Amino acid sequence: MESVRAVLVDIDGVLTVSWRPLPGAVEALREIREAGLAVLLVTNTTSRTRASIAGTLADAGFPVSAEDILTAPAATAAYLTEHCPGARCALLNSGDIAEDLNGVTVVDPADSGTVPDVVLIGGAGPEFGYTALDRAFGHLQRGARLVAMHRNLYWRTAEGLRLDSGAFLAGLEQAARMEAEITGKPARAFFEAALARLGAGAGEAVMVGDDVESDVLAAQRAGVTGVLVRTGKFQPEDLRAAGGPPDHVIDSFADLPALLRGSAQQ
């Protein structure tokens, strides 16, 4: 780990649960920054903007600003600008993320006269009812592309696991007979964008997450060292069923500084 220059960190389930800091997380992030390592928080959260997330984390004591955060919506905006310039998008998401979708044209769901070019799936919530999903299915049948910010099946809250949009996305893909274009984790391009922001190579970075597939193994496929934490959505059965072994497994983010110093055991 001596060659590490950059640390990519998931937020939900790693630093916080229901936006409350996990034990030792604030102190660990401060220690990593004081060691001179570049840090970028990379999250599939689609319920808040980068500025909102940064404000909440800063209020909790984390040394971060909006510039230290890369969200799936922000990555999606860049993806659509490059691959679908000028596209009209039908957005299905829980939460206001307009600020992070700079340059993206989102059509009003009530505008039946506009045919979207893209069905854009964000994070799940009450909005994911039959009417909205059936409307999205209709757009796909009429030729719209299917773009999703992530494939997360669930996330951890203070009340337990909650269903996420990956479960609905799988149904849309099956019904429409197409595969979604993913813009957040686990897409390789998301990790490459994060590394580019930090000016670091894949071999100089670690990715810390609680999702063995989307966070850790996806990062490892991009050449980044993966570190799985046993907090958040982590479940032992997911690790046993994973498509490969993480490079490292630690109890929590609080243990990361010791791992980076080489004094922690895998």
**Chain segment 22-43, per-residue pLDDT in tens:** 999 999 999 999 999 999 999 9
**What average pLDDT score do residues 44-49 get?**
90
Distance CA 211, CA 235 (A): 9
**Chain segment 190-230, per-residue pLDDT in tens:** 999 999 999 999 999 999 999 999 999 999 999 999 999 99
Domains, in order of start, for the chain: 6-44+185-264 (3.40.50.1000), 85-182 (3.40.50.1000)
What does pTM read for this prediction?
0.85
Task: Give me the pLDDT at residue 265, please.
Answer: 39
Task: Give me the pLDDT at residue 266, please.
Answer: 40
HEC letters along 74-100: HHHHHHHHHHCCCCEEEEECCCCCHHH
**Chain segment 48-90, per-residue pLDDT in tens:** 999 999 999 999 999 999 999 999 999 999 999 999 999 999 9
Torsion of CA 193, 197, 199, 200, to 10 degrees: -50
